[in-house]
Structure 1
Amino acid sequence: MDAHTELFQKNHSRLLGLAYRMLGSRADAEDVLHDAWLRWHAQDKGEVDDAEAWLVTVTTRLALDRLRRAKVERQHYPGPWLPEPLEPIEEAPSEQLERAETLSLSFLLLLERLSPEERAAFLLKEVFDYSHAETAAILSITEEACRQRVHRAKTRLREGRPRFHLDRAAQQRMLQRFIQAMERPDLDSLRALFAEDAVHISDGGGVVTAVLHPLHGADRLARLYRQIAINSYGAARYQLSTLNGAPALLIWAGEQLSSVMWVEAEGERITAIHAIRHPEKLSRIEAVTKSAGSTSLH
């Protein structure tokens, strides 16, 4: 491996983490990194004063272009769009702890409230710890414009969720209770899992059966999942995992991963379920899980 390839690989996890948070898609993030690598390979290195800054700048601008196109495409997406689930990114231990929450599905969905330009500025400044001056240089804007974008992003995120916090212990506990209720699908037991204003959001991408609009209310969610449990009785297998920095539930139908879901919980009640059923979005997690030879299925 030559020095320039080694330098790119040294920054790979940081660049991938940035591109994924920008796009909400591992596949799109890897496409961005492939394009960044081609540009780095062709670049006259003698003209580069700071290789990391050059790579972050190119990756950010490529991700911005792709995100602008994706925003238009998602307007025509069949049903709710949810980010592609992500197996752990090999960031440094300190970065994993510090940034795990910014990989969560809830956080990525909050970022969807931002314009592409606000999203880039916010991530660079607040997640990847670049100064306003550095962020402005990466985005080729003035420092004052950068400050305005970051401020607007923070305001929008506060409006979306005034207090952003993930209680992982509660999520893990509620997923375990959910498995137990699905294995013995009693309507009252299922209803007791959900807060009265709980919401279910499912992404099937128009490829597989999924609820096309958010479903609200404990009774409606209980009836939905009781029917799902009855239809899949004896065939579904449940596996607790950690994806996007949060507890997740993998649901298998035979050898096929049919769904990945996360819950938000308050106290002893589920307040939200996000379920991804789109096969293309599940394919990587399915392959990684099978290759790991995991046997923690219930």
Structure 2
Amino acid sequence: MSGDVVVDPVAEFEAERGRLFGIAYRMLGSASEAEDAVQDAYLRWHGADREHIEAPGAWLAKVLTNLCLNRLTSARVRREEYVGPWLPEPVRTDAGALGPLETAEQRDAVSMAMLVMLERLSPPERAVVVLRDAFEYSHREIAEVLDWSEANTRQTYRRAKRHLADGRPRFEASAAVRTDLLTRFLAAAAEGSLDQLESLLAHDVTVWSDGGGKVSASTRPVSGRDKVARFLLGLVQRFGSDMVFGFVEVNGEIALLAWESGVLTTAATFAFGAEGIAELRMVRNPDKLKFLETQSRELSQNAGPSGS
């Protein structure tokens, strides 16, 4: 009788699922596509000769990364044809959906702003940055995932980081300042006070609104304090009287969710500058809100009657 321990392949995969989803989401910027990629990885795992797989975690990461690279190639074409600004699918992170976000660097790595910036990179560059920065893979490990030389991964990483360094520097406001600004922002919008709303916005504030051609949204970024304030008030005025708002953590940062008749219609994330709110990214495409809506319902049910 053999003393070998029999490992359940399903349990072995499930132990890696969270990490795999985190990699796929950061690679693709889409929760629904990330779930599909993880499922495809499971099918590969299910059909593999596991006796010859010495390190299941590394094997699965390699399979998943290459699945994501294939998906990114086709996604580029779809995004070029996308109606209006493209934003990532928002994900609630207050329950650990994307792994630990204990530092400012970890939160910034999954922010909507960073995921948009990652769109500047080629698919291989994006893979290298995600594995290196978000999951602390060594260059040797990344080289094994991509079947590259270690020198190539180092060069690709340096090039990708230079591209990302061209982005707008972020201003770190304290949690108390963010909460105060957003509470006043919501009150000013609800009251229809243009002056109060403008006072909370930076002069060069910009709002991106992703409706995907399916709901009301600007097809171009709106910039400038006056234009943004008027755009936001116009949007609020089109909301129904039964609209319910709430603040939750989305992509590592505070976000405003808007629900109408029990359906999630908007998820807005914010970036802050010394003058106030500097950037807003509003996801309104209903297809991109399905994952977040499901998450929010599940978290509310798990929290019980006193949960939000």
Instruction: Provide TM-score, normalisation by structure 1.
Output: 0.92
| Letter matched to residue 236 of structure 2 | A
Question: 2:272 and 2:97 mapped to 1: Cα distance?
Answer: 27
SS at match of 2:164: helix
Q: Quick one: structure 1 residues 153 and 138, their matched pair in 2 at CA, closer, same or farther if it must change by over 3 Å?
A: same
Q: Which residue of 1 aligns with 2:186?
A: 179
CA contact (8 A) 1:101 1:166 kept: no
| Letter matched to residue 108 of structure 1 | L
Q: Which residue of 1 aligns with 2:111?
A: 104
Whether 2:238 is the aligned partner of 1:231: answer: yes
- Structure 1 residue runs of 4 or more that deviate by more than 4 Å after TM superposition: 293-297
Of residues 45, 63, 66, the one that matches 1:61 is 66
Instruction: Provide TM-score, normalisation by structure 2.
Output: 0.89
Report % sequence identity.
Answer: 36
Matches within 5 A, 1:74-153: 74-88=79-93, 90=96, 95-98=100-103, 99-153=106-160
SS at match of 1:249: strand
RMSD in angstroms over aligned alpha carbons?
2.1
Whether 2:19 is the aligned partner of 1:14: answer: yes
SS at match of 2:120: coil
Whether 2:278 is the aligned partner of 1:249: answer: no
CA contact (8 A) 2:31 2:291 kept: no
Structure 1 unaligned segments of length 5 or more: list them.
Answer: none
Question: 2:97 and 2:115 mapped to 1: Cα distance?
Answer: 18
SS at match of 1:251: strand
Whether 2:44 is the aligned partner of 1:26: answer: no
| Residue 268 (structure 1) shift | 4.8
Question: 1:192 and 1:96 mapped to 2: Cα distance?
Answer: 31
CA contact (8 A) 1:174 1:265 kept: no
Structure 2 unaligned segments of length 5 or more: list them.
Answer: 1-5
| Residue 287 (structure 1) shift | 2.8
| Residue 137 (structure 1) shift | 1.0
Question: 2:107 and 2:69 mapped to 1: Cα distance?
Answer: 22
| Letter matched to residue 187 of structure 1 | L
| Letter matched to residue 253 of structure 1 | E
Q: Which residue of 2 aligns with 1:194?
A: 201
User: Is 271-280 or 236-245 further displaced after alignment?
Assistant: 236-245
